[in-house]
Structure 1
């Protein structure tokens, strides 16, 4: 920080966007734009000169693509990056790739012709910059990723022979926010194909969740899809809460079903982790395992506590492996988590606990 303020470098090829972002960021008392750059090559020199706390980065720019620059940056000089892009179907794929490469968060570009919403946008980008400044960032290397995958595979293999997963009663419920896209992938990627149904709420816009589910489906043994309303929950399937809709579990006779709700925001979010976890406590009880992962805020903490009180087994990601230790920290403070583990150890522990669950209809 410089002068007690979060220092920000804005990188965008549009002079108008650079000026607008500068004005919005400098309007906050705890942050300031130390420089702006029209492309990554200029940004590279400005990073050396100013050593900013946070970088805002556009995707489509001259001389070097934003993703190419991000990949090099996170390998050679890792720092908190906030992607600024248009939230379109095309942009969602690109933005998810940016998160995969190490960006902390993302936000849509400000719409310069809509003045009425600019105050809300200013508050949102300021919140995301604060989150980025507080986040943990480390170099993304192929060696480290391979080591993590090998560790997860060994951990899962050590537990998977102990249990049989096929069940229409047992379920896993997962909640995450900032840093959650990669944490969820790490959690799911080595789970076996015959796991019980897994329901996930990740804070994400509505035009991102389908793309997110499709990317996970390509990488995982499990079948991953964006949840639809009133569908039966099946073993071997993962259901992602759609953006802008709450996801709940409900019961219809002997079957567990999804339920999507277009109701009020909870903890400023829709979908909300608390909404999912509270439904798990009501409907699934001791047949559930709850997992809360990296994220800013406290969404999911109360719900995880209710799950624990209803007989579910509850776990939280530990601080060292979180990008942002907000949601897990709040859950731990409430006594909602029965275990706190590194991300790499969570899949095997969930498998082990599923083998000990007792079906209660």
Structure 2
């Protein structure tokens, strides 16, 4: 990265000494990362944080005393530091994301080695060091805290539309901001959110509880239908397949595309290639360029394309690249994307 050799200063917070050793030893192999200190619980971290002044914190979600979620809520208003959660397969990770954590990585469960875990963590630390920390909302989103969704005029809106959406770092909450504002009768949506396996099902279930439409983790062969959102499984490439006038998804293990599996480019390129009805493509917060190339191909095939704007992104990478290559027709904040989409579907931009 040019001539800047400044290391990313990392603080590890975990009640397990073994976990701290694994993370410390693993990260020591990366010349651009320096572990500046450790803490064994939230209280210890609270004391050491102002002294160590790290660039990024890794945080265990489940700790005795104050858990990771309450700690994120307490610490971010005082120290707006990018926090990466280190979590077992646990729904609580999304509660911590909702109150301002930047990203998360899955703890190794013994079925695979620590190397992949450390590689994923190191990559996320680099991304987090560039992230814009979003302060926790006054009232976190809960399943009983619905907002009024925007009405979609059925008479005007075309019924033959497929909406594709892609997001990465910061996307779990940004995507929720879009979906919770959309009505139950939204045209069929397909979504790639970069996320480890297992978490995509939990994420889909969380969205299903909060949003008006049905949301599920996609299975191979699922049909794309109005009123339903399909989330790509965490370890499979999801592509749109045309069967006459019907559209289904293919969810298969495969090579990484644009550095990811699932990949936004894999989804968007399949839409550009196979979809014969109207299309909308939405690209949201995330590091890198996954989805930009695919979104441009969708636009060339007549799709209406929306990119999240810089100010509302945790990381303005993917939408920036898409915008710079001419793939984005309309930029909007994550709070306003739903309005732009509904106005387009209702005919004002057709």
The TM-score normalised by the length of structure 2 is 0.90
2:19 corresponds to: 17
SS in 2 for 1:280: helix
Query: Residues 22-68 of structure 1: CA distance to partner in whole angstroms, max 9, x if unpaired?
Result: 22223322221111111110100101212211111012222221222
- Gap regions ≥5 residues in structure 1: none
Separation in 1 of the partners of 2:349 and 2:70? 50
Residue 19 of structure 1: how far off its partner (Å): 2.3
Alpha-carbon distance in structure 2 between the residues aligned to 1:247 and 1:347 = 23
The runs of at least 4 aligned residues of structure 1 exceeding 6 Å deviation read 111-114, 143-146
Picking from 226, 230, 252, the partner of 2:221 is 230
Where 1:96 maps in the other structure, the secondary structure is: helix
Q: Which structure dedicates a bigger proportion of its chain to helix?
A: 1
Contact 1:305 1:337 in 2 (8 A): yes
* Counterparts of 1:138 and 1:237, CA distance in 2: 29
Verify: 1:106 aligned to 2:97, yes or no: no
Residue aligned with 2:163, SS: strand
Q: 1:132 aligns with which of 128, 132, 154?
A: 128
Q: Structure 1 residue 120: deviation in Å?
A: 4.3
Residue 283 of structure 1: CA displacement?
A: 2.2
Q: What CA RMSD, in Å, does the superposition of the two structures yield over aligned residues?
A: 2.7
Shift in CA distance, 144/252, structure 1 to aligned 2, threshold 3 Å = closer
- State TM-score, norm by structure 1: 0.88
State how 1:174-213 maps to structure 2 within 5 Å.
Answer: 174-213=165-204
CA distance in 1, matches of 2:52, 2:123: 22
Looking at structure 2, the residues matched to 144 and 108 of structure 1 have their Cα atoms a distance apart, in angstroms, of 23
**What secondary structure does 2:229 align onto?**
strand
Offset of residue 249 of structure 1: 1.5
Equivalent residue in structure 1 for 2:29, among 27, 30, 33? 27
Contact 2:171-2:193 at 8 Å conserved across structures? yes
Do the aligned residues in 1 keep the contact of 2:105 with 2:196 (CA within 8 Å)?
A: no
Q: What aligned pairs does 1:174-323 form with structure 2 within 5 A after superposition?
A: 174-285=165-276, 287-323=278-314
* Residues 1:96 and 1:212: Cα distance change in structure 2 (over 3 Å): same
Distance in 2 (alpha carbons) for counterparts of 1:124 and 1:231:
30
Question: CA shift at 1:313, angstroms?
Answer: 0.8
Q: 1:357 to 1:242 in 2, by over 3 A?
A: farther
Secondary structure, aligned partner of 1:134: coil
The structure-2 alpha-carbon separation of the partners of 1:267 and 1:357, relative to structure 1 and needing over 3 Å to count, comes to: farther
* Aligned residue pairs, count: 344
